[in-house]
Amino acid sequence: MSEPSYDHQVDRSHMQVSDEIAIQISQMNKWYGQFHVLRDINLTVHRGERIVIAGPSGSGKSTMIRCINRLEEHQSGKIIVDGIELTSDLKNIDKVRSEVGMVFQHFNLFPHLTILENLTLAPIWVRKVPKREAEETAMYYLEKVKIPEQAQKYPGQLSGGQQQRVAIARSLCMKPKIMLFDEPTSALDPEMIKEVLDTMIQLAEEGMTMLCVAHEMGFAQAVANRVIFMADGQIVEQNNPHDFFRNPQSERTKQFLSQILGH
């Protein structure tokens, strides 16, 4: 089985992964009512790692990352994020949310606020950052995602790719240590996928710890140092992208890859 080829292939050798642990999940289980959606998940993520979570629809990928920033609550086992164990204590949730940024498939921008207002809303109202400082930070990140000229526009005036870059900039304004992405390019036209991947590649090069649920494997190919394959609520297999694509171990993974790669 040959590796898919994308024009995002870069030399990843300079990207550092540290020994420090960013996320530790042990024996984690989650049910939706009677439905056992995540089963005995064990996962260690080191700082600077760039992980793609792949797997068939309904395998629990989104639920797993939603548990990491506490949008969903797990029922047993442990999740430790940046040294903080996730419990139902609200203070603890706030702490974790401030360490973990999340970008969704549908950008979730406020349509009636300008791009600048979207970016400064949480820093001003949640973090109590002075308006001027919040705006300077917002402009810094809009420049980073290469759309500073869009600051005064409304989301509806931007392309999907631009809106997704705004969503990434908005997360960065909260200075997260970890970024979670839930299918960030799924709602985009092919020509816009590249813009968003370029932004993600830039973040990865700066050492951001990233977990990305993805159906298309562009990010895996471009910058991931690990691909995790999930099926039926379990981690079935994980490996570096090179070996994951070239030498999948389980039948389930082989079947999945032949579906997505078309051979």
What is the three-class DSSP state of 89?
coil
Q: Which of residues 186-215 bind ligand ATP (CB under 6 A)?
A: 213
Residue 59 vs 150, nearer CB to ligand ATP: 59
Alpha carbon 195 to its chain centroid, in Å, reads 16
Q: How far is the CB of 63 from ligand ATP (least distance, A)?
A: 3
Shortest Cβ 57–ligand ATP spacing (Å): 3
59 lies in the site for ligand ATP, by CB under 6 A:
yes
Token look-up 């968003």 returns 196
Q: Is 41 in the site for ligand ATP (CB under 6 A)?
A: no
Smallest separation, CB 229 to ligand ATP (Å): 11
Establish whether 56 is an annotated binding residue: yes
Binding residue (CB under 6 A) for ligand ATP from 5, 34, 57, 88: 57
Q: Measured on CA atoms in the order 31, 32, 33, 34, is the torsion positive or negative?
A: negative
Phi, psi for residue 160 in degrees, rounded to 5: -60, -45
Nearer to ligand ATP, 52 or 169 (CB): 52
Q: Does 178 bind ligand ATP (CB under 6 A)?
A: no
Position 32 contacts ligand ATP (CB under 6 A): yes
Tell the residue number behind the tokens 């992964």, with chain if given: 17
Asked whether position 130 contacts ligand ATP by CB under 6 A, the answer is: no
Asked if 61 interacts with ligand ATP (CB under 6 A), we say yes
Pick from 240, 153, 163: nearest CA to 196: 163
C-alpha to C-alpha distance for 222 and 237, rounded to whole angstroms: 20
- The residues, any chain, with a CB within 8 Å of residue 166's CB and separated by 6 or more, are 107, 109, 115, 118, 119, 142, 145, 147, 150, 155, 158
Annotated binding site for ATP: which residue ranges? 55-62
